[in-house]
């Protein structure tokens, strides 16, 4: 790795390359000599038509006319020679675009379509994803990569359970008893079996409710309504060789609370992790309580509790009580 | 389990028992397109996925479910009033 950097440094002088272009890590070494994959910055997987054309233009001019879509929603152009880095960067600058990152940084956030056009969506995943990208993209972690993602509802297509920090839309339903006609459609709509009829009215087992909002979306007379919408926060997940499921640490965060949690969690990770461990490993080593005490509790975020008022975390596929 | 007090006679009927998602919704939608605003369509749906999905999609399209009735253990009758063109 060092050898490669050294070679690049020398070559970049020869080719008059701006080494800063390489620092962000948007150029990824391929198995083939001198060839790199250029990873373009596409927060939430959203690009406009002009960017699509630009990606095609770069692939035609500097690559082999091929595009690869990464699992993190980035458009990548493979087979680009390091000698063309400057030209590629310049070509991207023409439309105000840039390469993405790899390495020990806060990566480009991913997100689904969310409430803007997905029928299940509860939250504006694309909006918050763009903002998080603007504020925090590329921040150095001093340890390892740091991935964030946003899902618009509990179906969780964007796998927030496998992120260093993940946020998923949640809706708190509420019944207006006087409006309800007892049609039972909400009971049928609830996949979790959280609703049952008690006489003429549906009653909810809050321990089973996952805040998906399906009961609200189906109710024909608007008797089941949304009391509030927010974000469920998860920390410490990852995939890779040894995947981890994250801990659910707080519920019904506002957008602003999401930003603060990202900032505080990044600082905690920078200060408390050792070597190249991911935040999940640091939490495992130091104990979840430590992270909760240091980061979550001082922010006054809403803890997830069961009906006996015990704090509850979802981790590694099992619920357990604390 | 019917709507309180509402006894409406439907203008048209559709038996979708045994019809899978999302074909059942598409058929409902096509039928509603042939009808006038304010008319009522009666649809027979299977319990399970169809009862979970079709009423919600009908609501999302802007129409109103004005009655739900259990027919057998496996089938339901719903009444849809067409609200928009
Ligand atoms: S997570 Fe929910 S809102 Fe987002 S794409 Fe999946 S189903 Fe749609
Ligand atoms: S929000 Fe979802 S899980 Fe909770 S009661 Fe409604 S349908 Fe069931
Ligand atoms: S769907 Fe609405 S009207 Fe029907 S039982 Fe549920 S809350 Fe009541």
Give chain B as a 3 state SS string: CCCCCCCCCCCEEEECCCCCCCHHHHHHHHHHHHCCCCCEEEEEEECCHHHHHHHHHHHHCCCEEEEEEECCCCEEEEEEECCCC
pLDDT at A5: 58
Q: What pLDDT digit, counting tens, does each position of A155-210 carry? A: 999 999 999 999 999 999 999 999 999 999 999 999 999 999 999 999 999 999 99
* Residue with CA nearest ligand 1 atom 5: A112
Q: Give catalytic residue positions of B.
A: 21
Q: For residue B57, give the chain A residue with the closest CA.
A: A218
Q: For residue B58, give the chain A residue with the closest CA.
A: A218
pLDDT at B2: 47
Instruction: Kindly determine whether residue B68 and residue A183, on different chains, have CB atoms separated by under 8 Å.
Output: yes
Nearest to B68 among A184, A191, A217 (CB): A184
Average pLDDT rounded to a whole number, residues A134-156:
95
Average pLDDT rounded to a whole number, residues A67-71:
95
pLDDT at A177: 97
Indicate the helix (H) or strand (E) that contains A85: helix A85-93
pLDDT at A320: 40
- State percent of chain A over pLDDT 90: 77
From the list A227, A220, A236, the residue with the least C-alpha distance to A288 is: A236
pTM of the model: 0.89
CA distance A9 to A3: 10
Q: Using 50, 70 and 90 to split pLDDT, how confident is the model at A6?
A: low
pLDDT at residue A213 tops 50? yes
pLDDT at residue B5 tops 90? no
Q: Using 50, 70 and 90 to split pLDDT, how confident is the model at A9?
A: low
* Residue with CA nearest ligand 2 atom 4: A209
pLDDT at A119: 85
Q: What pLDDT digit, counting tens, does each position of B23-51 carry? A: 999 999 999 999 999 999 999 999 999 99
CA distance A18 to A8: 11
B1 touches chain A (CB under 8 A): yes
Give the neighbor-by-neighbor strand order of the sheet with A68-69: A27-29, A35-39, A75-81, A68-69
pLDDT at A97: 95
CA distance A314 to A320: 7
pLDDT at A244: 86
CA pseudo-torsion sign B1, B56, B32, B36 = positive
- A128 C-alpha to ligand 1 centroid (Å): 15
* Average of per-residue pLDDT values in chain A: 90
CA distance to partner chain A, nearest, from residue B2 (Å): 6
pLDDT at A305: 82
Quote ipTM for the complex.
0.87
CA distance to partner chain A, nearest, from residue B59 (Å): 7
Query: Is A103 strand, coil or helix?
Result: coil
DSSP-assigned states of every residue in A136-151: HTT-B-SSS-B-EEEE
pLDDT at A103: 84
pLDDT at residue A23 tops 70? no
B68 touches chain A (CB under 8 A): yes
CA distance A320 to A29: 43
pLDDT at B6: 56
- Say if CB B6 and CB B67 are below 8 A apart: yes
- A23 C-alpha to ligand 3 centroid (Å): 56
Q: What pLDDT digit, counting tens, does each position of A76-88 carry? A: 999 999 999 999 9
A184 lines ligand 3 (CB under 6 A): yes
Candidate of A169, A171, A196, A210 to mutate for ligand 2, largest count of ligand atoms within 8 Å of Cβ? A210
CA distance to partner chain B, nearest, from residue A175 (Å): 17
């Amino acid at each position: 790795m060092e050898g490669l950097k050294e070679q690049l440094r020398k070559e970049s002088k020869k080719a008059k390359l701006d080494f800063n272009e390489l620092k962000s890590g948007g150029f990824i070494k391929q198995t083939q000599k001198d060839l790199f994959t250029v990873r373009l910055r596409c927060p939430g997987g959203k690009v406009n038509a002009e960017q699509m054309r630009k990606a095609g233009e770069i692939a035609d001019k500097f690559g082999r006319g091929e595009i690869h879509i990464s699992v993190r929603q980035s458009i990548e152009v493979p087979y680009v020679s390091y000698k063309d880095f400057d030209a590629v960067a310049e070509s991207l600058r023409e439309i105000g675009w840039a390469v993405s990152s790899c390495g020990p940084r806060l990566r480009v956030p991913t997100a689904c379509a969310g409430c803007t056009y997905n029928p299940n969506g509860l939250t504006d995943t694309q909006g918050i994803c763009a903002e998080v990208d603007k504020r925090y993209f590329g921040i150095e972690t001093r340890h390892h990569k740091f991935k964030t993602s946003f899902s618009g509802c509990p179906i969780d297509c964007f796998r927030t359970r496998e992120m260093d920090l993940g946020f998923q839309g949640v809706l708190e339903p509420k019944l207006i008893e006087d409006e309800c006609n007892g049609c039972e459609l909400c009971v049928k709509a609830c996949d979790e079996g959280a609703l049952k009829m008690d006489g003429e009215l549906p009653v909810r087992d809050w321990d089973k409710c996952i805040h998906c909002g399906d009961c609200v979306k189906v109710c024909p007379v608007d008797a089941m309504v949304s009391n509030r919408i927010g974000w469920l926060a998860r920390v410490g997940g990852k995939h890779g060789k040894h995947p981890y499921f994250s801990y659910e640490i707080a519920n019904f965060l506002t957008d602003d609370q999401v930003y603060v949690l990202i900032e505080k969690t990044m600082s905690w990770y920078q200060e408390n992790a050792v070597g190249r461990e991911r935040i999940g490993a640091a939490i495992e080593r130091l104990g979840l309580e430590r992270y909760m005490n240091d980061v979550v509790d001082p922010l006054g975020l809403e803890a997830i509790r069961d009906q006996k008022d015990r704090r509850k975390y979802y981790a590694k596929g099992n619920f357990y009580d604390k | 389990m019917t709507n309180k007090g509402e006894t409406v006679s439907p203008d048209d009927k559709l038996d979708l028992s045994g019809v899978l998602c999302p074909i059942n919704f598409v058929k409902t939608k096509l039928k509603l397109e042939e009808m006038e605003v304010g008319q009522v369509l009666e649809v027979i749906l299977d319990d399970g996925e169809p009862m979970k999905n079709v009423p919600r999609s009908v609501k999302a399209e802007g129409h109103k479910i004005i009655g739900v009735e259990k027919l057998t253990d496996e089938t339901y009758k719903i009444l849809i009033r067409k609200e928009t063109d």
